[in-house]
Amino acid sequence: MEMERFTFKTWLSGILAFLMLTVVGETSGTEKNMALSGIERQVKTEAPEQKTTRTPLHTAIENGDMALAERYVSEKKWINDRDVFGLTPLHFTVIRDNQRLVKKLLLAGADTSLADHRGDTPLHMVAAHQGPLEIAQMLLDGGANINAINQQGGTPLHWAAGEGNLALVGLFLQRGAKPDITDVKGETPLHWAVDSSRLDVVRHLLRAGADPGRINLSGRSPLHLAAKNGQLDIATLLIERGVDLGTRGVSGDTPLHWAAGQGNVDMVRLFSMRIRDLNPRAKHGETPLHWAVFRGHYDVAALLIASGADCNAMDALGKTPLQLARAKGHEKIVQLLLPRSTLNTVDRTQKPAPVPNI
């Protein structure tokens, strides 16, 4: 999810930068080329001649010549033509936040469903760069598909949620956006909102019926992400909504594993007060205590032990938290575990302890 967002945001930023540069008459050709290079790195063309597909209408919009652009639109010229990136004049206008021209394009027959080479419609772009609510409304009134998916399965609601745009999230849900629609990684808009620490959006999605326990293709629920990112308020909200604290990822990891591995004492306390099993096993047999010890998180280890975690639990290689603490050189944790551990445990292998995926 993060890589998809980073790639698209980089690409969109390149387009925005180029459009801004072309408005400034004194901008050098070198600067323009630098702006374009960010775009070209993200899009592979079939043939060099495709780079000539930008129309006079595209050019007028990118040059900020709205009078000329409006003239072309009134003549219905190049309304739905695409450039090398698959961008239509409507894409260009949305990126520029020009409400007046968006309205004229729609009246002239601009197709809101046309997507660029990444599968993004103009409505995706409004959401991705936090464009005006009014433009989103115009596009929807003009027939835009609220649940359109791009090549990564992302919808406008995914982007609005990830960017924390509460107004757009509210509009999209009101206009029929599916709160539990998933991208190619199985992630819902709620996953995106949690991963971006958007508490208000999380709250709004939950009120709209989003499933707080929906897992992605890695088996992880939004609570896993909240635990991983240290979002205590979001984790509390999800728990209040009845999410299962024992949900396991495909690697056997629970939210408690992530909280322990990240050294988040408050998060571990929140979980440990609400679950019975403090020793769930991940893929290699590690408990949350193993994860805390591996990272050297003394306070978390102490809290887990005080809450009843098993100090003698062995991972798949027969290593206890004490043996792991010694191997990692965490002497303070060694002293914490020593009086609480059975000393006759046997290491079943000479191989190094598996590295938790944290």
pLDDT digits (tens, 9 = 90+) for 296-342: 999 999 999 999 999 999 999 999 999 999 999 999 999 999 999 88
Three-state DSSP state, 67? helix
Eight-state DSSP code of residue 355:
P
Give the separation between CA 97 and CA 176, rounded to whole angstroms. 24
Find the mean pLDDT for residues 182-204: 98
**108 domain residue, yes or no:** no
pLDDT at site 19: 52
Give residue for tokens 């409304």: 137
**160 domain residue, yes or no:** no
Query: In 3D, which of 289, 268, 352, 295 has the Cα closest to residue 318?
Result: 352
**29 domain residue, yes or no:** no
Eight-state DSSP code of residue 178:
-
**68 domain residue, yes or no:** no
Cα of 283 vs its chain's centroid, Å? 25
Query: Is the pLDDT confidence value at 212 over 80?
Result: yes
- Residue 176, Cβ neighbours under 10 Å: how many? 10
**269 domain residue, yes or no:** yes
Question: What's the structural domain count of the chain?
Answer: 1
Where in the sequence is the domain holding 283, given as residue range(s)?
243-358
Give the separation between CA 112 and CA 92, rounded to whole angstroms. 12
pLDDT digits (tens, 9 = 90+) for 108-117: 999 999 999 9
Eight-state DSSP code of residue 73:
H
**293 domain residue, yes or no:** yes
Find the mean pLDDT for residues 249-255: 97
**286 domain residue, yes or no:** yes
Which CATH number is 308's domain given? 1.25.40.20
Query: Is the pLDDT confidence value at 48 over 80?
Result: no
**43 domain residue, yes or no:** no
Predicted structure pTM score: 0.83
Give the separation between CA 61 and CA 72, rounded to whole angstroms. 10
pLDDT digits (tens, 9 = 90+) for 126-183: 999 999 999 999 999 999 999 999 999 999 999 999 999 999 999 999 999 999 999 9
Find the mean pLDDT for residues 285-300: 98
pLDDT at site 42: 38
CB 280 within 8 A of CB 289: no
Q: Considering the chain, what is the average pLDDT of its residues?
A: 88
Give the separation between CA 341 and CA 345, rounded to whole angstroms. 9
CA angle, 323 then 271 then 256, to 5°: 45
Query: In 3D, which of 321, 205, 344, 206 has the Cα closest to residue 260?
Result: 321
